[in-house]
Structure 1
Amino acid sequence: MKESYSRFALVYDELMEDIPYDTYVELIALAANGIAGKKILDIGCGTGLLAAKLAKSGGNVTGVDLSPDMLQIATERAKSLNLSISFMLQPMQKLEGHSGFDVAVIPIDSLNYVTDRMEVLQTFRNIYQALSIGGVLLFDVHSTFKTDVIFLESPFTYDSERISYIWQTEPGEELHSVYSELAFFVKAENDLYERFDEVHFQRTFPVQEYVNMLLEVGFKIERVFADWEDEAPAEESERIFFQVRK
């Protein structure tokens, strides 16, 4: 779970190098009719990679995450880039104290760490309250094909000069959920490798179930698309995007 992101925060950026954050910025700009001057809530902001890009584009960004380690790195990133970004320690299902936002974003399957349906619904309610009338929410989740098929093709391995891992998965008790056990080996200054372990649990829901929850809260569905493309989700799509408006 994301609560376990501690030492993992130190290797997170390298592991996320293949994520097209610039494309996410473009998607947000398209949904919000530009970024400059917009008040943006980055939920599950992690180490602040997306928040920094949005702030560089002129957004007034607030980032929230439940990991102090992630937020420490995010704060240091913003400071080093001379960017004014507010960061807050909050789980998205207990989001509070936010209002008047033009945009909310839950990037890179962060919502899949909220595994209880009622808490997903509560997260949508919290975001609805945080947005101004006409404000937009953009988020992505794993498809059920990814949780039920692709993730269960483990073990997966990764090896770079500095970081290696072995990733084992097994299905969770809930439908479309998956447990992940990762053993990391990180090269230290003495050229020896230090090991640490992570256990993560994620769950997703079918597209229509997300749609039903969003409609229940009061959102208007504008766009549902897949895999970074302006195309409807297909049977083997892996990442599903939702664009909805208050």
Structure 2
Amino acid sequence: MSKKLPDLISHYRAAGGSLLDLGCGTGTLLIALAGSFGRLTGVDQSPDMLRHAAEAARRAGVDVDLVRGDLRDYRGDRRHSVVTCTYNTVNYMVDAGDLDLAARTLRAATEDGGLAVLDAHPVWFVERAWAGQVFVEQNTEDILEVWENPYDAATGRVDTTVTVVRRTPEGGWHRVHETHPQRGHDPAAITGALLAAGFTSVDTYAGLDREPVREDTRRVWYVAR
């Protein structure tokens, strides 16, 4: 994502100026795009994520403004030429009205003539490949991850639980348990929310190479202007 997104931004001639990353997490995308923008701002509601982002930016020698905030109501002190909201952040908008609030935040943060880029898993991906499934990942001998995805068909909501078991230096085991409430959002819903928020056009793609959306697309990309 961090390698291909600059090409998409360049295609829309939107590089330069300032970049705002909503749901910036550990700052990976901000650092990757640092050379394309004069000013970088990251927003996340998790203090731990912001701490990791600050450390990563320091190690990379990148100057980043980091702010704690929520996608549903964040309002900064300036608008930006490019606003990104990636890595499924929009899928965390699970309650009624959340999607509209997120769209308004995106529009309020984007300069007139600027660009907002976001992604989200659609409902069909959630229902076919995610809902009700259990995934186990063990990339090293010391870390095991278990992802459980109970699904509520009435709301389209998946309250993903993640259990991470990690071997400690002393030879014991440490367990971390998290819950990630998410839901699928189809292109028509997201496009409608963005247009209602004040964007004048929204392009949708099946990937950062700008291929068309199909009914089996796992992640839909949106470019709003």
TM-score normalized by structure 1?
0.85
Q: 1:163 to 1:30 in 2, by over 3 A?
A: farther
Distance in 2 (CA, whole Å) between partners of 1:142 and 1:87 is 26
2:74 is equivalent to residue 60 of structure 1 = no
Distance in 1 (CA, whole Å) between partners of 2:42 and 2:220 is 22
Question: Which residue in the other structure is 1:204 paired with?
Answer: 184
Q: 1:119 to 1:25 in 2, by over 3 A?
A: same
Question: Which residue in the other structure is 1:30 paired with?
Answer: 11
Distance in 1 (CA, whole Å) between partners of 2:175 and 2:10 is 40
Give the Å deviation of 1:231: 2.1
RMSD over equivalenced CA pairs, Å: 1.7
Range 103-112 or range 218-227, more displaced? 218-227
Question: Which residue in the other structure is 1:4 paired with?
Answer: none
Q: Map Cα deviations across residues 6-31 of structure 1 (whole Å, 9 max, x no partner).
A: xxxxxxxxxxxxxx321123223333
Distance in 1 (CA, whole Å) between partners of 2:111 and 2:194 is 16
Give the Å deviation of 1:215: 1.3
Question: Which residue in the other structure is 1:136 paired with?
Answer: 115
Q: 2:158 aligns with which of 178, 184, 191?
A: 178
Question: Which residue in the other structure is 1:13 paired with?
Answer: none
Q: Which has more helix, going by share of residues?
A: 1
CA contact (8 A) 1:155 1:168 kept: yes
The 3-state SS of whatever aligns with 1:216 is helix
Deviating above 4 A after TM superposition, structure 1's stretches of 4 or more consecutive aligned residues are none
The 3-state SS of whatever aligns with 1:99 is coil
The 3-state SS of whatever aligns with 1:93 is coil
Identity %: 25
What letter is aligned with 2:8? L
Distance in 2 (CA, whole Å) between partners of 1:100 and 1:142 is 27
How many residues end up aligned between the 2 structures?
Answer: 224
Give the Å deviation of 1:174: 4.6
Question: Which residue in the other structure is 1:155 paired with?
Answer: 134
The 3-state SS of whatever aligns with 1:138 is strand
Distance in 1 (CA, whole Å) between partners of 2:156 and 2:193 is 17
Q: 1:237 aligns with which of 197, 217, 224?
A: 217
Structure 2 gap ranges (5+): none
Structure 1 gap ranges (5+): 1-19
